Amino acid sequence: MIALEFENQNVKIDAGELVSYTVNGHEFIHQKGSPGWGSADTEMFPIIGPVNEAGFQVQVPRSTAIQDQHGLLRQFPYVLEENGATSAIFSKTYRAGTPIKNSKFPEKSTKQWLVWPYNFSFEKHFRLTKEGLEIRFVIDGEQDMPFMLGYHPAFKLHTANAFVIAKEKVITLEEILAVGSRALEVANCEKLVLKDAQELTITTKGFGNFMCWTEVNNMVCLEPISFYPYAVEQNKLHEGFQYLSEKAMFTVMLTPTIS
Protein backbone atom coordinates (compact mmCIF):
# COMPACT_ATOMS: atom_id res chain seq x y z
CA MET A 1 0.00 0.00 0.00
CA ILE A 2 1.38 3.39 -1.06
CA ALA A 3 0.48 6.41 1.10
CA LEU A 4 0.70 10.04 -0.05
CA GLU A 5 0.17 13.08 2.17
CA PHE A 6 -0.05 16.82 1.64
CA GLU A 7 -1.33 19.10 4.41
CA ASN A 8 -4.86 17.89 5.20
CA GLN A 9 -5.04 15.45 2.27
CA ASN A 10 -4.25 11.73 2.41
CA VAL A 11 -4.17 9.19 -0.42
CA LYS A 12 -3.80 5.41 -0.38
CA ILE A 13 -2.94 3.48 -3.53
CA ASP A 14 -3.07 -0.32 -3.73
CA ALA A 15 -1.15 -1.72 -6.72
CA GLY A 16 -2.02 1.34 -8.80
CA GLU A 17 -5.65 1.54 -7.65
CA LEU A 18 -6.82 4.65 -5.81
CA VAL A 19 -8.48 3.13 -2.75
CA SER A 20 -8.69 6.21 -0.52
CA TYR A 21 -8.67 9.99 -0.83
CA THR A 22 -9.47 11.80 2.40
CA VAL A 23 -9.49 15.51 3.15
CA ASN A 24 -9.79 16.48 6.81
CA GLY A 25 -10.86 12.88 7.39
CA HIS A 26 -13.68 12.96 4.82
CA GLU A 27 -13.47 9.94 2.48
CA PHE A 28 -14.30 10.62 -1.17
CA ILE A 29 -13.58 7.14 -2.62
CA HIS A 30 -15.96 4.18 -2.62
CA GLN A 31 -14.64 1.48 -0.33
CA LYS A 32 -14.21 -2.11 -1.45
CA GLY A 33 -16.67 -4.36 0.32
CA SER A 34 -19.38 -1.71 0.28
CA PRO A 35 -22.40 -2.36 -1.97
CA GLY A 36 -22.19 -1.33 -5.60
CA TRP A 37 -18.82 -2.31 -7.07
CA GLY A 38 -15.88 -4.49 -6.09
CA SER A 39 -13.25 -1.93 -7.10
CA ALA A 40 -12.41 1.67 -6.25
CA ASP A 41 -11.02 2.79 -9.60
CA THR A 42 -9.78 1.30 -12.86
CA GLU A 43 -8.93 2.24 -16.45
CA MET A 44 -10.77 1.40 -19.66
CA PHE A 45 -8.19 0.86 -22.42
CA PRO A 46 -7.72 0.33 -25.34
CA ILE A 47 -11.51 0.11 -25.71
CA ILE A 48 -14.48 1.32 -23.70
CA GLY A 49 -17.69 -0.64 -23.52
CA PRO A 50 -18.94 -4.20 -23.91
CA VAL A 51 -18.20 -6.45 -26.90
CA ASN A 52 -20.09 -9.63 -26.00
CA GLU A 53 -22.65 -9.07 -28.78
CA ALA A 54 -19.80 -8.73 -31.29
CA GLY A 55 -18.16 -12.03 -30.36
CA PHE A 56 -15.61 -10.20 -28.18
CA GLN A 57 -13.97 -8.88 -31.34
CA VAL A 58 -13.00 -5.30 -32.20
CA GLN A 59 -11.98 -4.24 -35.67
CA VAL A 60 -8.55 -2.56 -35.89
CA PRO A 61 -6.43 -1.75 -38.97
CA ARG A 62 -4.03 -4.65 -38.40
CA SER A 63 -6.52 -7.40 -37.67
CA THR A 64 -9.37 -8.23 -35.35
CA ALA A 65 -8.50 -7.77 -31.68
CA ILE A 66 -9.92 -10.08 -29.02
CA GLN A 67 -11.12 -7.89 -26.16
CA ASP A 68 -13.59 -8.05 -23.29
CA GLN A 69 -15.55 -5.27 -21.64
CA HIS A 70 -13.46 -2.09 -21.27
CA GLY A 71 -10.31 -3.65 -22.74
CA LEU A 72 -7.37 -5.69 -21.52
CA LEU A 73 -5.35 -3.11 -19.57
CA ARG A 74 -7.15 -3.88 -16.32
CA GLN A 75 -6.28 -7.57 -16.68
CA PHE A 76 -2.58 -7.29 -15.84
CA PRO A 77 -0.80 -5.54 -12.96
CA TYR A 78 0.92 -2.19 -12.59
CA VAL A 79 4.60 -1.81 -11.72
CA LEU A 80 5.58 0.92 -9.26
CA GLU A 81 8.12 3.18 -10.99
CA GLU A 82 8.49 6.09 -8.55
CA ASN A 83 7.19 6.98 -5.11
CA GLY A 84 7.64 10.15 -3.04
CA ALA A 85 5.82 11.86 -0.19
CA THR A 86 3.24 13.49 -2.47
CA SER A 87 3.50 11.56 -5.75
CA ALA A 88 3.71 8.11 -7.30
CA ILE A 89 4.03 6.69 -10.81
CA PHE A 90 2.82 3.28 -11.94
CA SER A 91 3.23 1.69 -15.36
CA LYS A 92 2.13 -1.18 -17.56
CA THR A 93 3.87 -2.37 -20.70
CA TYR A 94 2.29 -4.60 -23.33
CA ARG A 95 3.97 -6.41 -26.21
CA ALA A 96 1.83 -6.88 -29.33
CA GLY A 97 0.16 -10.26 -29.57
CA THR A 98 0.79 -11.30 -25.96
CA PRO A 99 -2.19 -13.32 -24.64
CA ILE A 100 -3.58 -11.83 -21.40
CA LYS A 101 -5.71 -14.05 -19.20
CA ASN A 102 -9.30 -12.83 -18.92
CA SER A 103 -10.59 -12.75 -15.34
CA LYS A 104 -14.17 -12.82 -16.64
CA PHE A 105 -13.71 -16.32 -18.11
CA PRO A 106 -15.64 -18.59 -17.86
CA GLU A 107 -18.40 -17.08 -15.70
CA LYS A 108 -19.01 -13.91 -17.75
CA SER A 109 -17.09 -14.47 -20.96
CA THR A 110 -16.34 -17.16 -23.54
CA LYS A 111 -12.83 -15.81 -24.17
CA GLN A 112 -10.09 -17.09 -21.89
CA TRP A 113 -7.36 -14.96 -23.49
CA LEU A 114 -7.35 -11.36 -24.74
CA VAL A 115 -4.99 -10.07 -27.43
CA TRP A 116 -4.08 -6.62 -28.82
CA PRO A 117 -1.95 -6.33 -32.00
CA TYR A 118 0.06 -3.24 -30.95
CA ASN A 119 2.89 -2.48 -28.52
CA PHE A 120 2.16 0.16 -25.90
CA SER A 121 3.20 1.52 -22.52
CA PHE A 122 0.74 3.08 -20.10
CA GLU A 123 1.60 5.26 -17.11
CA LYS A 124 -0.61 6.38 -14.24
CA HIS A 125 0.72 9.37 -12.27
CA PHE A 126 -0.64 10.51 -8.90
CA ARG A 127 0.28 13.92 -7.46
CA LEU A 128 -1.10 15.74 -4.43
CA THR A 129 -1.07 19.54 -4.60
CA LYS A 130 -2.73 22.28 -2.58
CA GLU A 131 -5.55 22.26 -5.19
CA GLY A 132 -6.24 18.54 -4.79
CA LEU A 133 -5.30 15.19 -6.34
CA GLU A 134 -4.08 15.07 -9.93
CA ILE A 135 -4.20 11.76 -11.82
CA ARG A 136 -2.43 11.81 -15.16
CA PHE A 137 -2.29 9.10 -17.80
CA VAL A 138 0.49 8.89 -20.38
CA ILE A 139 0.09 6.58 -23.38
CA ASP A 140 3.01 5.72 -25.63
CA GLY A 141 2.92 3.18 -28.41
CA GLU A 142 3.15 2.44 -32.07
CA GLN A 143 2.37 5.13 -34.62
CA ASP A 144 -1.34 5.17 -35.53
CA MET A 145 -2.32 2.69 -32.82
CA PRO A 146 -6.09 2.95 -32.33
CA PHE A 147 -7.33 3.45 -28.79
CA MET A 148 -9.98 4.79 -26.47
CA LEU A 149 -9.38 5.79 -22.86
CA GLY A 150 -11.74 5.95 -19.96
CA TYR A 151 -11.06 6.45 -16.26
CA HIS A 152 -13.49 4.70 -13.92
CA PRO A 153 -13.34 6.10 -10.35
CA ALA A 154 -16.08 5.36 -7.83
CA PHE A 155 -17.03 8.00 -5.28
CA LYS A 156 -18.55 7.31 -1.90
CA LEU A 157 -21.87 9.02 -1.20
CA HIS A 158 -22.56 10.17 2.35
CA THR A 159 -26.10 11.57 1.95
CA ALA A 160 -29.34 10.46 0.32
CA ASN A 161 -29.71 13.66 -1.72
CA ALA A 162 -26.35 13.78 -3.53
CA PHE A 163 -26.38 15.09 -7.10
CA VAL A 164 -24.07 16.09 -9.95
CA ILE A 165 -23.75 19.39 -11.79
CA ALA A 166 -22.68 19.30 -15.44
CA LYS A 167 -22.54 22.53 -17.45
CA GLU A 168 -24.94 24.15 -14.95
CA LYS A 169 -27.40 21.29 -15.33
CA VAL A 170 -28.37 19.19 -12.31
CA ILE A 171 -28.16 15.40 -12.73
CA THR A 172 -29.86 13.52 -9.91
CA LEU A 173 -28.84 10.13 -8.63
CA GLU A 174 -32.26 8.87 -9.70
CA GLU A 175 -31.51 9.84 -13.31
CA ILE A 176 -28.24 7.94 -13.24
CA LEU A 177 -29.88 4.90 -11.65
CA ALA A 178 -32.63 4.93 -14.29
CA VAL A 179 -30.13 4.49 -17.14
CA GLY A 180 -28.73 1.34 -15.54
CA SER A 181 -25.69 -0.53 -16.86
CA ARG A 182 -25.42 1.58 -20.02
CA ALA A 183 -24.31 4.62 -17.98
CA LEU A 184 -25.62 8.15 -18.48
CA GLU A 185 -23.78 10.08 -21.19
CA VAL A 186 -22.56 13.62 -20.50
CA ALA A 187 -21.19 14.71 -23.89
CA ASN A 188 -18.72 17.52 -24.61
CA CYS A 189 -17.98 18.11 -20.96
CA GLU A 190 -14.69 18.54 -19.10
CA LYS A 191 -15.93 19.23 -15.57
CA LEU A 192 -18.43 17.73 -13.15
CA VAL A 193 -19.22 18.79 -9.61
CA LEU A 194 -20.37 16.17 -7.13
CA LYS A 195 -22.57 17.76 -4.48
CA ASP A 196 -22.74 15.66 -1.34
CA ALA A 197 -21.86 16.14 2.32
CA GLN A 198 -18.69 17.71 0.93
CA GLU A 199 -18.23 19.01 -2.61
CA LEU A 200 -15.81 17.52 -5.14
CA THR A 201 -14.99 18.99 -8.56
CA ILE A 202 -13.68 16.64 -11.27
CA THR A 203 -11.86 18.56 -14.01
CA THR A 204 -10.36 16.80 -17.03
CA LYS A 205 -8.11 17.39 -20.02
CA GLY A 206 -8.03 15.21 -23.11
CA PHE A 207 -11.11 13.08 -22.53
CA GLY A 208 -13.86 15.43 -23.69
CA ASN A 209 -16.82 13.52 -22.23
CA PHE A 210 -18.14 11.77 -19.13
CA MET A 211 -20.45 8.92 -18.37
CA CYS A 212 -22.12 8.41 -14.99
CA TRP A 213 -22.96 5.01 -13.57
CA THR A 214 -24.30 3.42 -10.42
CA GLU A 215 -26.78 0.75 -9.47
CA VAL A 216 -26.86 1.62 -5.75
CA ASN A 217 -27.42 4.80 -3.74
CA ASN A 218 -24.20 4.75 -1.68
CA MET A 219 -21.73 5.39 -4.54
CA VAL A 220 -21.51 6.88 -8.01
CA CYS A 221 -18.94 6.45 -10.79
CA LEU A 222 -18.18 9.68 -12.66
CA GLU A 223 -16.08 8.50 -15.57
CA PRO A 224 -14.09 10.69 -17.98
CA ILE A 225 -14.15 9.03 -21.42
CA SER A 226 -12.79 9.72 -24.87
CA PHE A 227 -15.83 8.02 -26.46
CA TYR A 228 -19.30 7.00 -25.29
CA PRO A 229 -19.50 3.34 -26.38
CA TYR A 230 -23.29 3.05 -26.44
CA ALA A 231 -23.47 5.60 -29.26
CA VAL A 232 -22.84 2.74 -31.71
CA GLU A 233 -23.61 -0.96 -32.04
CA GLN A 234 -20.97 -3.21 -30.55
CA ASN A 235 -19.71 -4.36 -33.96
CA LYS A 236 -19.04 -0.70 -34.82
CA LEU A 237 -17.09 0.12 -31.68
CA HIS A 238 -14.03 0.89 -33.83
CA GLU A 239 -15.77 4.11 -34.92
CA GLY A 240 -14.84 5.57 -31.54
CA PHE A 241 -11.08 5.13 -31.90
CA GLN A 242 -8.56 7.92 -31.97
CA TYR A 243 -5.09 7.20 -33.32
CA LEU A 244 -1.77 7.69 -31.59
CA SER A 245 0.62 10.10 -33.32
CA GLU A 246 2.84 10.89 -30.32
CA LYS A 247 2.70 10.42 -26.58
CA ALA A 248 -0.85 11.14 -25.44
CA MET A 249 -1.62 12.69 -22.05
CA PHE A 250 -4.94 12.76 -20.23
CA THR A 251 -5.50 14.45 -16.87
CA VAL A 252 -8.10 14.20 -14.11
CA MET A 253 -8.04 16.70 -11.23
CA LEU A 254 -10.03 16.03 -8.06
CA THR A 255 -10.55 19.31 -6.20
CA PRO A 256 -12.36 19.16 -2.86
CA THR A 257 -14.29 21.95 -1.21
CA ILE A 258 -14.36 21.17 2.48
CA SER A 259 -16.74 23.20 4.61
For the segment(s) 2-257, the CATH number from 3.40.1190.20, 3.60.21.10, 2.40.110.10, 2.70.98.10 is 2.70.98.10
Amino acid at 72: L
Q: What is the mean pLDDT of the chain?
A: 97
What mean pLDDT do residues 6-33 have? Answer: 97
Strands 79-83, 87-94: pairing is antiparallel
- The domain locations on the chain are 2-257
Checking if the pLDDT of 258 tops 80, the result is no
What mean pLDDT do residues 74-90 have? Answer: 98
- pLDDT, tens only, 180-207: 999 999 999 999 999 999 999 999 999 9
Question: pTM score, two decimals?
Answer: 0.96
What mean pLDDT do residues 120-132 have? Answer: 98
Percent of the chain with pLDDT over 90: 98
- pLDDT bin (cut points 50, 70, 90) of residue 259 is low
Amino acid at 104: K
Distance CA 222, CA 202 (A): 8
Q: How many degrees, rounded to 5, is the angle at CA 181 between CA 158 and CA 58?
A: 130
DSSP state of 30: P
Distance CA 87, CA 2 (A): 10
Checking if the pLDDT of 60 tops 70, the result is yes
Checking if the pLDDT of 107 tops 70, the result is yes
Residue 98 falls in which region: left (phi positive, over 0), alpha (psi -120 to 50) or beta: beta
